[in-house]
């Protein structure tokens, strides 16, 4: 089975439901209208996958044909809000499929499971007979997308919503404002988007389209308006609301900047009252995210009036002053019928208990938040912009068994969110940073805590990745496209062989290694084409593991790979010569040759049973160390694997 | 030089302008604001191609830095309308680039030329020193996109506008209404889009976005409201305006259908008066296309009142009655400040001379239209939905030298339009049907009539195709994606080897071969992945041409190809076994093996100088004939080439 996320209970039964062109669906019960679009889309996806011409066109509420083999039953209309019932039961028999749920949100989840069950044998397409009972472990399973650092237009958000639905995520958190851009139309204060966005923002009609599209897929949209720091783009239009005199310009670089709202200025609260009045009408969800992170306090410290205010308030520090500010903002939100979420910087003694704290700096903030009576989300460990392997995210649990909490506190852990920060991505690359790794996080948040087999996760992730392409995601297809551009018309095979083994540097190393990167710098270089979680390197590592564990039959596969890599530079060098943008990878291509040669030498020694002396090992280790150094902001992922071969061969 | 379209005059000079990170542009003169966005986008494209970090972010009107190396000069703001000056002069010197134009539309065209000049040598990126004077041969260079048969959302239209701009096309003709869908929001009669579109239509805000996006690129948007036939989707909402009683349902199939507006019903003209009042406000262009094609007259013939009206009117036939209808519609358009274009069905004695006739049934309608004093566009021969090779479109001239017209009549030939009819495409495949072939048509309409070298066109088309990917076009990248889906996770190399040699059947053969195709049928099969103008087959044909012309050195390349194709079925068969959607291509894959074997046999005979007898030839010709038969609505394009080898080997 390739189901991802793994359902709560699954029982395989005898038999197969054969998919034929007479397939079709009927919907019974009292669902919300979104169920019909979802069922129709599922039929279209099945047709697309199988090439079958199904006679049914749009599945509607009018006179359902109960003779059709897929029967969907639903007790009541669902509501896309925190805590709604998403459970479903799916029973596939040889002649019928029945999908039952309390509300249509469960049906949406179940339809995705059914689609993942589609299988093939010599007789054609079929669904295996199963009985599944399923519901999520956590009610808040999110993906945050930062559309500020690089704006991402509507269609990118939409296709990512489709992908989220495919892996049962249910919250899209849109980071809508930051130093680099104010990304939503504001009718009350139009200068906000007019002066703060370079013309790159969502109109309200587009935002409503996103919300409706998400709602159709059972996904909430939580907007983030990050205050009081990360606020440059607001202050371009309204410098008088800042804690230091303006003027301000849209920030083009990355980092933590000074411009901050003035918490002592009553006009600030009047402004936010009107602002949140409008935004509370635009966004349907009960929650608004107010950010609150990384206020560096410099403008506050430098402003005597703010210092005096702090003393009057008996605020010990800027953190407490921000607490005062948050309190005012929360009151405004409450007035407009909204509750707040915020980054863990907000957490302090006395923080209102109805706030949801999103832990980004450390998993311990989850525990601290729920101990204080707040509810909490985990994002630390789910920072997909940092290019870490899916396995690390996968094993990162919002509520691990070892966490010292009572059961009431545990219940306050609502789930988590993958965070797609936008400094180092653009429209071409963003999908490849989100997918397929976010599917691993989706499983962590949906499936039982005990589902932790990393190899099996990677196996299923390969299938998910392929399926996501059907929804228009570009994480796979933009790879070759970028390589074609880089190769400037030359054959890309040798280039792909190298880049398949590269990953962008991890964590914040790319920021450190490219100082002059701004919001208009190109995202078209090798580091952008390279993707996290090199599959080729992982497979090679498995083979070497096997070899070193004594499985001699792995040696041939290891040798074949090393041989092909060894000859790659010769094929790639002429391509690089004709494309100056590739010159920065010459050392990487040479290193691949060197390291592969070394690997082959190690293989020979291991095979002959004549390991070399320490001196040889020390000498060769220098090659390894040199090849480990990042180049063009990427790393050659097989180097540590060859290092292990070297270790074995020289000990 | 890889320029496409070829400019009017080009002089190569000594020297190269070296592109460095200090590159930047200043805009002088009195342009329309669109020039700044265009220059900024060009800078971004240069950065994307070269990986250079240019310091300039947004190029604006404020204080241009005249020290920057690219200097753009523009005398006046351009207006995106028929006949606007699009000429430009471009002078690249070793230290400076100057782009001069009468108005900013010329600048847009010149920037695309400059971008195409970007070259590479051992020193890096450069522009060759040139002097170019350029202007279009025809003022109307269009692409029609049918968004009715399959709706194509906003982002697809936008990326195609980018592609159009890249090859200097200047009219997007949107076929907005047809039997299968009414695709634009109508506020006066909201039932039109509510009942006639399955919810798949452009909102007016989206339509304004398209028009603004096109205007930014110097492209007009001409909407088509096809009447009185092809009108089912209108009549779903307003059956009383039809020539026969309703009710009507949105049409799901393809063809010519009966539902037609009633030309004798005054309410019809009241309706259109209000309708075109609204649409005249929405669409900025001076022209509205009123369709007028393929009214089969059945409803008119069957309606006694219409027959009686025709007699009173002394209309000899339905054609004349449609002339009456058109006359009324034209008056309505004129009242709202618009002029009309229409399909050549409208052409009849007395047709108003200010109409533009779009010839789709035959090139002779162009001559007939201009002799009658109308202006004319050619689309016959530019039907890109019919999968013909680019060469055929390329050599099809709107005003060939042999056309017997005087010079005043010749001037009335405005240009032409590629037509992307939408029956057999969807969002995934449409780009591959439009591009790159439409670039060949773009050159026909821009460049001098004497530019007719097919081989050189194909050479440059390869470059254009690669460059169009940078603008987000999916004609290349969706190919592998579709093959991945078809192969269901298996390696796609063998599948690609076969499909590289397949083309969808031409003209209307696919309609004939897939009777049950509807608007919700899958467009995900081999015929959809296969593309027009197989490059691999064309290259093979060139090699065989060379061989048969006595160039013996070509034999090795021919043999290598045939050998690799001969072994392909063995690699592909297991992939097909695991993916039922591929079963229909088994005969194609087997034929590739058979035909390649035959080709190798012919090569051996030719090499040995021992041609076989007629009997052998007749026997083998049966194989060829069998392999020529279409399968899975595709054709194996090397069969006729191997047939020529056979001919040579058996004569």
CATH code of the domain in which A61 resides: 3.30.379.10
Are B499 and B441 in a shared domain? no
Give yes or no for a cis peptide into A108 (omega within 30° of 0): no
Residues of B with catalytic function: 294
Going by pLDDT thresholds of 50, 70 and 90, the confidence category of residue B1 is confident
Could you identify the residue written with the tokens 């990304």? A183
Question: Are the CB atoms for A621 and A646 separated by under 8 Å?
Answer: yes
User: Residues B482-495: pLDDT tens digits?
Assistant: 999 999 999 999 99
Chain B hits for A153, Cβ within 8 Å:
155
What pLDDT is recorded for position B609?
87
Predicted-assembly ipTM surpassing the 0.95 threshold:
yes
Smallest Cα distance from B481 to chain A, Å: 6
Residue range B88-119, pLDDT digits in tens: 999 999 999 999 999 999 999 999 999 999 99
Q: Which of B154, B477, B518 sits opposite A477 (nearest CB)?
A: B477
Instruction: Give the Cα separation of B90 and B109 in Å (integer).
Output: 10
Residue B401 lies in a domain: yes
Q: Would you state the pLDDT for residue A315?
A: 72
Could you give the CA distance from residue A13 to residue A18 in angstroms, rounded to a whole number? 15
Query: Is pLDDT of B592 > 80?
Result: yes
- Residue B4 in any domain: the answer is no
Domain boundary among B91, B112, B134: B134
pLDDT value of residue B82:
98
Report the candidate in A190, A189, A345, A175 with the shortest Cα–Cα distance to residue A267. Answer: A189
Q: What pLDDT is stored for residue A313 in this prediction?
A: 84
- Residues B251, B323 within the same domain: yes
The pLDDT of B123-145, averaged and rounded, is 98
Handedness of CA B552, B556, B561, B562 (dihedral sign): positive
Instruction: Indicate whether B611 pLDDT > 80.
Output: no
Q: Please check whether residue A462 lies inside any domain of the structure.
A: no
Out of B466, B485, B580, name the one closest to residue A469 (CB): B485
The dihedrals phi and psi of B324, each to the nearest 5 degrees, come to -60, -50
Rounded to 5°, angle at Cα B29 from B20 and B108: 60
SS3 labels along A118-147: CEEECCEEEEEEEEEEECCCCCEEEEEEEC
Which segments of chain A have a pLDDT < 70? none
Q: Is the pLDDT of residue B139 over 90?
A: yes
Q: Does A477 touch chain B (CB under 8 A)?
A: yes
* Residue A446 and residue A136 in contact, taking contact as beta carbons nearer than 8 Å: yes
Q: Is B519 on the interface with A (CB under 8 A)?
A: yes
Question: Which residue is catalytic, options A73, A84, A194, A294?
Answer: A294
Tell me if residue A392 is catalytic.
no
B positions 33-52 inside 8 Å of A (CB) = 44, 47-52
For residue B50, give the nearest of A51, A120, A581 by CB distance. A581
Count of other CB atoms within 10 angstroms of residue B63: 7
Q: Which domain holds residue B500?
A: 477-650
- Residue B483's pLDDT is 98
- pLDDT reported for residue A609: 87
The arithmetic mean of pLDDT across residues B19-30, rounded, is 96
Residue A68 per-residue DSSP state: S
Contact call for A489 and B466, based on CB within 8 A: yes
Same domain for A209 and A287: yes
Q: How far apart are the first and last CA of chain A?
A: 42
Q: Which of B158, B169, B67 is nearest to B112 (CA)?
A: B169
Q: Which tokens go with A99?
A: 């999908």
Q: Is residue B534 located within the same domain as residue B445?
A: no
Q: Which residue of A has its CA nearest to B429?
A: A472
| Separation between Cα atoms, residue B264 and residue A184, nearest integer Å | 50
Same domain, A28 and A43: yes
Q: With 0.95 as the threshold, say if the pTM is over it.
A: yes
Last residue of a domain, one of A90, A117, A134: A134
Q: How far apart are CA B244 and CA B261, in angstroms?
A: 9
Pairing status of strand A88-92 against strand A97-103:
antiparallel
- What is the spatial distance between Cα A446 and Cα A454, in angstroms, rounded to a whole number? 16
Domain count, chain B: 3
Residue A123 and residue A151 share a domain = no
B526 neighbors B504 (Cβ within 8 angstroms): no
Lowest mean pLDDT among B428-442, B504-518, B604-618, B620-634: B604-618
Over residues B153-198, the pLDDT tens digits come to 999 999 999 999 999 999 999 999 999 999 999 999 999 999 999 9
Q: Is there a domain that residue A384 lies in?
A: yes
Residue B640 lies in a domain: yes
Cβ within 8 Å, pair A476-B484: yes
Quick check: A452 contacting B, CB < 8 Å? no
Q: Is residue B385 helix, strand or coil?
A: helix
pLDDT digits (tens, 9 = 90+) for B311-364: 988 877 999 999 999 999 999 999 999 999 999 999 998 899 999 999 999 999
The DSSP bridge pattern shows strands B177-178 and B140-146 to be unpaired
Q: How many CA atoms lie within 13 A of A272 on its CB side?
A: 26
Cα–Cα distance between B463 and A488 in angstroms, integer? Answer: 9
Estimate the crossing angle of helix A154-166 against helix A437-446, to 10 degrees: 50
Would A357 be classed as within a structural domain?
A: yes
Percentage of residues of chain B with pLDDT beyond 90: 96
Shared domain check, B611 and B577 = yes
Q: Residue B177 sits in a domain of what CATH number?
A: 3.20.20.80
Residue among B193, B212, B114 at smallest CA distance from B147 = B193
In a domain, B488, yes or no: yes
Whether residue B1 lies inside any domain: the answer is no
Position A591 scores a pLDDT of: 98
Distance CA B645, CA B637 (A): 14
Contacts of B1 by beta carbon, 8 Å cutoff, 6+ apart:
B10, B12, B117, B128
pLDDT value, residue A63: 85
């Amino acid at each position: 089975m390739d189901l991802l996320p793994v359902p709560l209970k699954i029982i395989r039964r005898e038999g197969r439901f054969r998919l034929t062109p007479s397939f079709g669906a009927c919907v019974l019960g009292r669902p919300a209208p979104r169920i019909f679009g979802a069922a129709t889309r599922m039929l279209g996806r099945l047709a697309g996958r199988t090439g079958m011409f199904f006679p049914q066109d749009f599945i509607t509420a009018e006179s359902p044909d109960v003779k059709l083999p897929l029967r969907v039953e639903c007790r009541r209309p669902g509501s896309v809000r925190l805590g709604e019932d998403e459970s479903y039961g799916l029973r596939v028999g040889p002649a019928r499929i029945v999908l039952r749920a309390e509300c249509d949100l469960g049906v949406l989840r179940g339809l995705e499971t059914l689609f993942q069950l589609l299988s093939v044998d010599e007789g054609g397409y079929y669904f295996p007979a199963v009985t599944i009972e399923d519901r999520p472990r956590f009610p808040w399973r999110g993906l945050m997308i930062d559309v500020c650092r690089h704006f991402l237009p509507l269609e990118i958000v939409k296709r990512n919503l489709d992908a989220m639905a495919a892996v049962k995520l249910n919250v899209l958190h849109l980071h809508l404002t930051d130093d680099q851009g104010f990304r939503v139309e504001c009718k009350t204060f139009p200068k906000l988007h007019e002066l703060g966005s370079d013309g790159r923002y969502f109109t309200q009609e587009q935002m409503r389209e996103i919300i409706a599209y998400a709602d159709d897929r059972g996904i909430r949209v939580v907007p983030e308006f990050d205050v009081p720091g990360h606020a440059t783009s607001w202050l371009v239009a309204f410098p008088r609301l800042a804690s230091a005199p303006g003027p301000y310009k849209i920030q083009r670089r990355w980092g933590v900047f000074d411009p901050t709202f003035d918490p002592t200025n009553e006009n600030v609260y009047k402004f936010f009252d009107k602002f949140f009045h409008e935004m509370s009408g635009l966004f349907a969800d009960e929650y608004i995210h107010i950010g609150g992170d990384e206020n560096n306090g410099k403008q506050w410290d430098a402003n005597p009036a703010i210092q005096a205010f702090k003393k009057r308030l008996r605020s010990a520090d800027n953190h407490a002053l921000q607490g005062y500010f948050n309190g005012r903002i929360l009151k405004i939100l409450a007035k407009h019928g909204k509750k707040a979420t915020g980054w863990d910087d907000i957490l302090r003694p006395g923080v209102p208990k109805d706030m949801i704290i999103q832990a980004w700096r450390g998993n311990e903030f989850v525990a601290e938040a729920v101990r204080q009576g707040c509810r909490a989300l985990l994002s630390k460990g789910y920072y997909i912009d940092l290019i870490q392997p899916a396995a690390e995210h996968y094993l990162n649990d919002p509520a691990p068994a070892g966490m010292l909490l009572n059961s009431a506190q545990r219940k306050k852990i609502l789930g988590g969110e993958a965070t797609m920060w936008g400094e180092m991505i653009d429209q071409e690359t963003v999908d490849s940073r989100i997918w397929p790794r976010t599917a691993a996080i989706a499983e962590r948040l949906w499936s039982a805590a005990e589902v932790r087999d990393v190899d099996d996760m990677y196996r299923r992730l390969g299938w998910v990745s392929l399926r996501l392409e059907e929804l228009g995601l570009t994480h796979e297809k933009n790879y070759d496209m970028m390589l074609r551009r880089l190769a400037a018309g030359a054959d890309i095979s040798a280039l792909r062989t190298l880049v398949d083994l590269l990953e962008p540097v991890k964590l914040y190393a790319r920021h450190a290694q490219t100082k002059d990167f701004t919001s208009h710098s190109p995202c078209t270089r090798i580091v952008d084409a390279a993707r996290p979680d090199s599959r080729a390197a992982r497979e090679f590592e498995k083979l070497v593991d096997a070899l070193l564990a004594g499985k001699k039959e792995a040696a041939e596969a290891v040798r074949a790979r090393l041989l092909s890599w060894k000859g790659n530079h010769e094929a790639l060098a002429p391509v690089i010569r004709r494309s100056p943008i590739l010159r920065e990878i010459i050392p990487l291509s040479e290193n691949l040759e060197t390291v592969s040669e070394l690997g082959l030498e190690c293989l020979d020694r291991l095979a002959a049973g004549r390991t070399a002396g320490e001196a040889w090992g020390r000498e060769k280790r220098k090659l390894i160390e040199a090849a480990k150094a990042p180049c063009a902001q990427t790393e050659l992922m097989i180097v540590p694997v060859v290092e292990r071969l070297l270790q074995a061969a020289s000990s």
